[in-house]
Amino acid sequence: MQPQLKSKVRCADREVGEVSKVIMDPLSFEVSHLVVSMNGEGERQVPMSAVLTVTDDVVQLRSSSSEILCMPPFTREDYVTLHEVEIPGLERHVHVNPGEVLVPFPELERNVKRRAFFTKLTYATGLFIGLPLVFPVLKFLMKPMYASLDNRWLKIGNIGKVKADDVGVQFQYKRKVKEAYLPEAEIEKNVWLVKATSSVLEKVYQGKDMEFRDAAGRPVWTNKKDIPFLAFSGKCPHLGCAFKWRKHKVLGQVFLCPCHLSIYDASGKVLDGPAPRPLDLLPIQVSASGEVQIIDMEFKAGTKSQTRIV
Amino acid sequence: MSDTPSSGAQPTVAEKVFTFVDERVGLKLLAAKMLNEAVPGGSRWAYVFGSILLFIFGMQAVTGVLLMFYYVPTADHAYASTQYILHDVDYGWFLLSYHFWGSSAMVLCVFAHMSQVFLWGAYKKPRELIWLVGLLLFALVMGFGFTGYLLPWDQRAYWATTVGVEIVDKMPVLGDFLARFLKGGATPGQMTLSRFFVIHVMVLPAALIALAGLHLFLFRCAGPAGPFRGTPTELKAKTDYFFPRQIWKDVVGMAVVFACISALAFWEPVVLLDEATPDPGDYHPEPEWYFLFIFQHLRLKMFSGELGQFFGSIGLPGALGIMLILLPFFDRDSERNIFKRPLALIGWVVLTASIVLFTVSAIINRDFLD
C-alpha cells in the first residue's frame, strides 16, 4: 500500500514525526519520496528506498533518526501540486487519502426501484421525437434529386459548318434552364457533329437503326443507320469532362479528353485511355435547309452501359 | 505558483476583475492545467503541427466569415459576388486569396502532422482513439477543400466538382444516390451550389470544431507520446511543460505559416476563370493541386473500364483509408522507433513518393495537352 498522510514515521531507534506530503514520480506513477514533518525540526525528503514497511498509520524506516535529520531539508519550490499540472492518468494512481469524504445521499433518491426503466424511457422519448423526423427530413433533402427527363428538340446551328467527312466539329448552343425559384437562365453547352463516311456509319450503327426511349420505355426517336450525321454528347463517358477534336501523333485526328486522356475515333469508339464505353450518340434531325436539331441527353459517366440522367 | 498579490499595493481594476472571475470559475487552476502539461523528453519543433492546424483553422473561419459578408451562393450571383470581392471590396482580394492559400497550407500541415504521428509511432496504444478521430478530421479537411472549390462558380470550380462528384458516383450501391444528393439533381447547378455552400460553411465547421475538441480531449487523456528513444531517466531529465518552450515553438511555427500564406496571397492572388457553364471552351479541367495525384493516377491504363475505374477511384483510396483506420489495431508491437519498423518506414516512403510522383507528372502532362 501507499504511505498515508499523517502516518507516524518511525526510524530504527525512535519515532521522528509524521508524513506531511508524498511525492509522485510522473513516469512510473509510483510514490518516489515521503516528506516527513520532523516534530518541529523542519521537513525532510525521504526516498521510498529508505522505507522498510508501511501499515495503515505507521511508516517504518530502515535508517536511524540521526541519519534522517542529516538529510537536506525539503524545498517546496521544486514541486507543484497534482492540481496544477496535467499528467494524464497520474491521479488514478494516487491512493493517499486522509480518509473518505462524504456527502449525504438525498432522501428521495434512496430506494428508487425503476432507474433502469427511467433510462429506457429517456431513450424511447428520444426515438419518439427523432424517428418521425427521418422521413420528412429525407424527403426535404431529396426534393430536387430526381427530375424528369426532357425530350425537347433544340436547334443548335446549321450543318453547313461541317465541311469535311469524319471530322469532329463542335456546335455550341445555349439551353434555357429554369431551376427551382431562380429566374430562367441560359447555360452554354456543346455537342460534336461528325459527317460520317459509310465505313464510320457501319462502325456506329452496325447495320441497325438506333432507337431512343424515354423513362417509361416509349420510343422517342430513331436515328436511321444511313443518315450520315452523328451528334455526340459533349460529356466524356469516363468521368464527365469535356473532350475535344485534336491531332494525335500516332492515331491521327481523334476525340481527346484532356482530363484523363481517353481517346476516341470519329465513330466514338475508344482507341486508348480509361473510358469504359464509346462516346454517347444523341438523337439528331437535319432539315432540308440544313438546320440541326438534337435532343439534349446526358448519360451517367463511368459505366459500361448507358444510363440516361438528363 | 504564488497566490499572494504583489506586496502591499492596492489591486488594480484589472486584478479585481481577474480575482472576481477566478473566484467563480477557478481561472488560475484552469490556466495552470492547460499550460503545465508535461511533455516527456521535452518540447520539439516536430510537435508544432497540431497547434499550427488549429491556428490555420481559426484564420480560415475568420476570413470565411468575412467573405460571407459579400458572397451570394446562387448560380446567377456567386461568380459576380466573388468578382466583386476580388475587384471592388477593399482588401477583398487579400482576404479571398488568404482563404484560398490557407486551404493549401491546411492540407500540407495535415500531411506533416499525420506523418509525424505515424513516423513517431504515436498512434499506438493507448493513443488509438486520437488517431481515429484524427483520420476523421483529415476527411473533413479534404471535404472543406472539395466543397469550397465550387463556391466561386467559375470554370475551374464547375469542372472540379463535375469530375469529383462522378468519382463519388462510382461507389457501389450508394454511389448514384450520394452523387445526386450532393448535386441536388442529375447535373451541377443551383442546388449543388446551395448544398456545397451549406456543407462548407455550416456542416463541416460544426463537425470540425466538435471533432477537434474530441481530438484534444483524447490527447489530454493519454498525454503526449514523447520521443521514441531514451530511458525513463533521460526522458524525465529533459521533460518540460507545454508552456513556455513548446508554446514558443508553436507560435514561431504559426508566424511562419501566416507569413507564407500572406506572401502567397500577396504575390499569387486568386484570379477567376470564366463563369461556370457546361461548355469549358479552351479550359482543360483540373482539380486543386492536392487532388492532382488522384486525378493523374485515374489516367493510368490499369484503371480503365468500369471495373478499373472502380478500383482507381474508390477501391484503392478506400483500401488505403481502411488500412489507416486499422493501423493501430494491427500494429500492436510497442516498438515506436521508426528505424526499427522497416515496413512502416517503407510504406510511408512509397506512399509519399507516389503522391509526389503523380502530382509532378500531372503538372508535366499539362504541356502536352495543347
Give residue-wise pLDDT tens across range B299-329. 998 999 889 999 999 999 999 999 999 999 9
Q: What value of ipTM does the predicted structure carry?
A: 0.86
Which cell numbers in the block locate residue A142? 431529396
Residue tagged 511543460 (cell numbers): B241
Q: Give pLDDT, residue B196.
A: 98
Nearest residue of chain A to residue B172 (CA atoms): A303
Q: Give pLDDT, residue B1.
A: 42
Residue B3: pLDDT over 70: no
Residue B182: pLDDT over 80: yes
Q: Give pLDDT, residue A215.
A: 79
CB-CB under 8 Å, B278 with A187: yes
Mean pLDDT for chain B overall: 93
Residue B2: pLDDT over 90: no
> How close is the nearest chain A Cα to the Cα of B310, in Å?
9
Q: Give pLDDT, residue A8.
A: 93
Residue B340: pLDDT over 70: yes
Residue B7: pLDDT over 60: no
| Best mutation target, B176, B279, B369, to test chain A (most A CBs within 10 A) | B279
Ordered structural domains, chain A, with CATH: 8-93 (2.30.30.240), 153-295 (2.102.10.10)
Residue B12: pLDDT over 90: yes
Cα B112 to Cα A18, B199, B239, B334, B337: the distances in Å are: 53, 26, 24, 23, 18
Query: B160 falls in which pLDDT band (50, 70, 90)?
Result: very high
CATH class of B47-359: mainly alpha
> How close is the nearest chain B Cα to the Cα of A9, in Å?
29
| Helix intervals (H) in chain B | 13-25, 27-35, 49-67, 78-87, 92-119, 128-150, 155-169, 175-183, 190-198, 204-222, 232-238, 247-267, 292-297, 305-310, 316-330, 342-365
pTM of the model: 0.91
Nearest residue of chain B to residue A259 (CA atoms): B285
A28 vs B contacts (CB less than 8 Å) = 232
What mean pLDDT is predicted for residues A254-275? 94
CB-CB under 8 Å, A144 with B75: no
Residue B64: pLDDT over 70: yes
Q: Give pLDDT, residue B220.
A: 93
- Residue A2 · residue A33 · CB < 8 Å: no
Task: Specify which of A9-13, A244-248, B62-66 reaches the highest per-range mean pLDDT.
Answer: B62-66
- Determine the length of chain B: 370
**What are A206-226's pLDDT values in tens digits?**
989 999 988 788 899 999 998
Query: B370 falls in which pLDDT band (50, 70, 90)?
Result: low
